[in-house]
Structure formats: structure tokens, C-alpha cells
């Protein structure tokens, strides 16, 4: 197992570059990292000896210009495995990923309650199930993704509205249950990390990931780094107030984007519009698609709110691109026209030119984000 303390800065830089962008030749690495060839070679040597990097055959790739063919460095993806678990209000979704964050196996476990003790018991059972597939010997880390206010540095879940948790020392307790080294991160930030290291954000200096679903979230990468903010809650566009006379939000505010466009808010307003207290989100989607005007207006208002929130991100941060994702995208056709109109109306000047790309992701991808945070912890200096 590789420990962060064992890595010199050059080794960390080499490992990160090859992991997220490789395979890369030593010449390309030296140019990209502004290091000497000797520093790259020295940094790569212990990683090769420990089996985390390998040299590909020179014929597979050549360096630029004249001279002998280069032997690119590549990550040995199966050198170590990582468990990632997304914790929702009613389910645990777990995956085992390799070093390249490719999902090797997955499993789900229903949660009859969000009681912390019972969730941790179920977590231990899920991790055992995942590792019993032949991954136990080379798995040392577990990443957990949780909605709400999470202190990554301590693994404390300060507040998770959907789990109804306050001040839960999740990292400490999960390590006792599983015996693994645990990282805990806000679920949207974890998903953003996965996109930054292995998805649409690779090589991009700035981008935003907006998630639509039970909540409205946003992860930010600025200057090539995930932004957490001094208090760990940067990017919470779901709690930007856009209507002073709007509905109360669970956060204590009023007229937040999430209080208008979150799944619970849409169901509440759709039930009121239809006069049907038993109406589900799926019912509301079906009615809106069938042309029900009052239900359609609920989705229109939600789209306006989401678009205004995304515009606020574009105005404040100026990302090169914005990715829209989340489980709520199953109804994205009902949101999209008003999201784009609202975004164009609220975005200032050239910020309105920021491209919006739609990327539906399953809950397994959220769990992959949790695993990616553990991968990042492994290589972080």
C-alpha cells in the first residue's frame, strides 16, 4: 500500500498526471509539469518499483521530434482497488473501482431507516459483500458520499437534511466498522472530483457541475482545484434565495432554488395544482408530458429557478463549461426550455455564452465519485 508520506512532490505530480491524462512519456511529463527529465525519472522510479506505474513498450507511443521512441508511463489500474459508497435516504449504493476509477463491481442495499447505527451496520455488510468478490487483499480505502454539510478534513457530517443527521463522526465510525481508511465528502463534490479527474473536466481549468434531483447542488473547479470554501459549503446554489416571497426551505431560508425546484418541492406543488394528495413525481411528470397546464407550470417554475441558479454560478465564477447532471434528469425535457431561457436572461454579458452540457449519471456514478475521492487522497501530497 502506498502512503502519502512516501511520495516526494515530483512523484505526486507525475502520478497525478499519468493517472488523469496518461499514458505519457517522460518528455511529455517534463514539459507538462515544468520539471527536468531527471526529476521526472526520479519521481517515477519508486512508483514503478511499487507497481503503481509501468512502462509501456516503446513501439506503442513515440515522443515528439527526432530521437529514439519514448516508453510512455501508464498506471497499473489493478494495483489497488477502492470502495465507494453513496448514502441516500433509503439506500446504499456501493462500487469497487480500480486506480483509473473504472467500476469493477457494484451492489445496492436498502435502508429501512436512517438511524446512524443501522446505516453503519448495513455499510459494513455492503463493504464485505463488495470485497468478497476477490478485491479484499488489494483494497485499503473507502470513500463515502453524503448529501449536505460535510467536513472533509475530519469526516464529520455536520448536517445532512435527507438523512436527518447532525454532527455525525462518520469517518471515525466507518473506519471502526470496515477496517479501511475512510474519506467522507459531500456527494456533489465527490461527483465533481470524478468529473475533474476522469470525466469532462480533465484538463479544464474551470468548470461547474450542477445536479438536479432531490436537492439542487453544484460543485466548482477553479484554477484546476475543487473549491470547498472556508466553511466547506462553497457551490450550494440550491440555497441561493431567488424569491423573497417563495416557499420556506428546510435550510431555514425562504425562496431557495431547492425549495422551488427540488423533487419534494415539485411533488408538493404538483399535488396542490392537481388537488391530488397521493400524486407522485412520476405521476406529475406523466401529466406534464400529456399537456396538463397547471402541472406543466410547476416544472416551468422549477426550470426558471434552476436556470437562475446556474446563471449565478456563471456570473460569479465564469467557468469554461457547466455540466448539468443528477437523477432529476429523467424529466429534463420538462425543465430544459425554461432553464435555458432563464439562464440567458440572468447571465451577464459573455457569461451567457458558457456552454451547458447534459450528462445523465446513475447512482453508481455517484458512488464512483466517492471512490475517486479516496483515489485522490492516496495521491495527494
For residue 363, the model assigns a pLDDT of: 86
DSSP structure class, residue 163: T
Closest by CA position to 43, among listed 79, 7, 67, 76: 7
For residue 61, the model assigns a pLDDT of: 45
β-sheet bridge partners, residue 104: none
CA distance 375 to 361: 20
CATH superfamily of 80-193+365-379: ATPase, nucleotide binding domain (3.30.420.40)
CA distance 232 to 229: 5
CA distance 272 to 123: 38
Kindly state the cell numbers that stand for 75: 498506471
Tens digit of each residue's pLDDT (9 = 90 or more) over 108-162: 999 999 999 999 999 999 999 999 989 999 999 999 999 989 999 999 999 998 8
Closest by CA position to 327, among listed 240, 193, 216: 216
Q: Is the separation of the CB atoms in 151 and 345 below 8 Å?
A: no
Closest by CA position to 27, among listed 39, 41, 13, 37: 37
Residues forming CATH 3.30.420.40 domain(s) in the chain? 80-193+365-379, 202-358
Q: Where are the beta strands (DSSP E) in the chain?
A: 53-55, 73-75, 81-87, 91-97, 103-110, 139-146, 149-151, 156-160, 165-169, 181-186, 207-212, 216-222, 225-226, 321-325, 356-358
**Phi, then psi, of 356 in degrees rounded to 5:** -105, 120
For residue 204, the model assigns a pLDDT of: 83
| Crossing angle between the packed helical segments 332-346 and 281-289, to the nearest 10 degrees | 80
Residue 199, classified by CB atoms within 10 Å of its CB into exposed (0-12), middle (13-18) or buried (19+), is buried
In three-state secondary structure terms, 156 is strand
For residue 312, the model assigns a pLDDT of: 93
In three-state secondary structure terms, 105 is strand
Count Cα atoms within 13 angstroms, Cβ side, for 268. 13
For residue 4, the model assigns a pLDDT of: 44
CA distance 260 to 272: 14
Residue segments in the chain with a per-residue pLDDT below the cut of 50? 4-6, 60-63, 66, 381
Kindly state the cell numbers that stand for 27: 518528455
Residue 334: other Cβ atoms inside 10 A? 22
The domain 202-358 is placed in CATH, from the list 3.40.50.2000, 3.30.420.40, 3.30.2310.20, 3.40.190.10, at 3.30.420.40
Q: Which residue has the cell 475521492?
A: 373
For residue 359, the model assigns a pLDDT of: 80
Cβ neighbors of 55 (< 8 A, separation 6 or more) are 48, 71, 72, 73, 74
For residue 6, the model assigns a pLDDT of: 46
Contacts 24+ apart (CB under 8 A), 201-207: 201/323, 202/20, 202/21, 203/21, 204/320, 204/321, 205/320, 206/317, 206/318, 206/319, 206/320, 207/319, 207/320, 207/321, 207/322, 207/323
In this prediction the pTM is 0.85
- What architecture is domain 4-75? Orthogonal Bundle (1.10)
Q: Is the separation of the CB atoms in 31 and 17 below 8 Å?
A: no
Cis ω for the linkage preceding 16 (within 30 of 0)? no
DSSP structure class, residue 114: -
Calculate the dihedral angle through the C-alpha atoms of 380, 61, 56, 44, rounding to the nearest 10 degrees. Answer: -40
In three-state secondary structure terms, 85 is strand
Closest by CA position to 354, among listed 191, 227, 204, 188: 204
For residue 331, the model assigns a pLDDT of: 82
Amino acid at each position: 500500500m502506498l502512503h502519502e508520506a512516501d511520495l516526494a512532490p515530483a512523484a505526486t505530480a507525475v502520478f497525478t498526471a499519468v493517472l488523469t491524462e496518461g499514458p505519457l512519456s517522460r518528455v511529455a511529463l517534463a514539459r507538462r509539469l515544468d520539471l527536468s527529465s531527471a526529476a521526472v525519472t526520479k519521481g517515477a522510479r519508486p512508483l514503478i518499483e511499487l507497481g503503481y506505474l509501468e512502462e509501456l513498450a516503446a513501439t506503442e507511443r513515440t515522443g515528439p521530434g527526432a530521437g529514439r521512441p519514448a516508453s510512455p508511463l501508464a498506471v497499473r489500474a489493478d494495483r489497488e482497488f477502492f470502495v465507494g459508497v453513496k448514502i441516500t435516504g433509503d439506500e446504499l449504493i456501493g462500487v469497487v473501482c480500480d486506480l483509473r476509477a473504472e467500476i469493477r463491481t457494484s451492489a445496492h442495499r436498502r435502508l429501512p431507516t436512517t438511524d446512524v447505527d443501522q446505516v453503519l451496520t448495513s455499510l459494513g455488510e455492503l463493504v464485505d459483500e463488495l470485497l468478497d468478490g476477490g478485491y479484499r487483499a488489494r483494497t485499503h480505502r473507502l470513500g463515502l458520499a453524503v448529501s449536505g454539510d460535510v467536513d472533509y478534513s475530519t469526516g464529520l457530517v455536520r448536517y445532512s437534511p435527507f438523512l436527518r443527521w447532525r454532527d455525525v463522526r462518520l469517518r471515525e465510525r466507518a473506519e471502526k466498522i470496515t477496517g479501511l481508511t475512510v474519506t467522507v465528502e459531500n456527494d456533489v463534490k465527490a461527483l465533481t472530483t470524478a468529473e475533474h479527474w476522469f470525466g469532462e473536466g480533465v484538463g479544464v481549468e474551470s468548470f461547474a457541475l450542477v445536479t438536479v434531483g432531490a436537492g439542487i447542488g453544484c460543485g466548482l473547479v477553479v484554477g484546476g482545484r475543487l473549491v470547498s470554501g472556508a466553511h466547506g459549503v462553497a457551490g450550494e446554489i440550491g440555497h441561493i434565495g431567488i424569491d423573497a416571497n417563495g416557499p420556506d426551505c428546510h435550510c431555514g431560508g425562504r425562496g431557495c432554488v431547492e425549495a422551488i425546484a427540488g423533487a419534494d418541492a415539485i411533488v408538493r406543488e404538483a399535488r396542490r395544482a392537481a388537488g391530488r394528495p397521493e400524486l407522485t413525481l412520476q405521476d406529475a411528470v406523466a401529466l406534464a408530458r400529456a399537456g396538463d397546464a397547471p402541472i406543466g407550470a410547476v416544472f416551468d417554475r422549477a426550470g426558471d429557478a434552476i436556470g437562475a441558479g446556474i446563471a449565478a454560478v456563471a456570473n460569479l465564477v465564469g467557468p469554461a463549461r457547466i455540466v448539468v447532471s443528477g437523477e432529476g434528469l429523467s424529466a429534463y425535457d420538462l425543465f430544459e426550455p425554461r432553464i435555458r431561457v432563464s439562464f440567458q436572461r440572468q447571465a451577464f454579458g459573455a457569461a451567457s455564452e458558457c456552454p451547458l452540457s447534459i450528462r445523465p449519471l446513475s447512482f453508481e456514478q455517484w458512488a464512483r465519485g466517492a471512490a475517486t475521492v479516496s483515489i485522490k487522497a492516496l495521491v495527494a501530497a
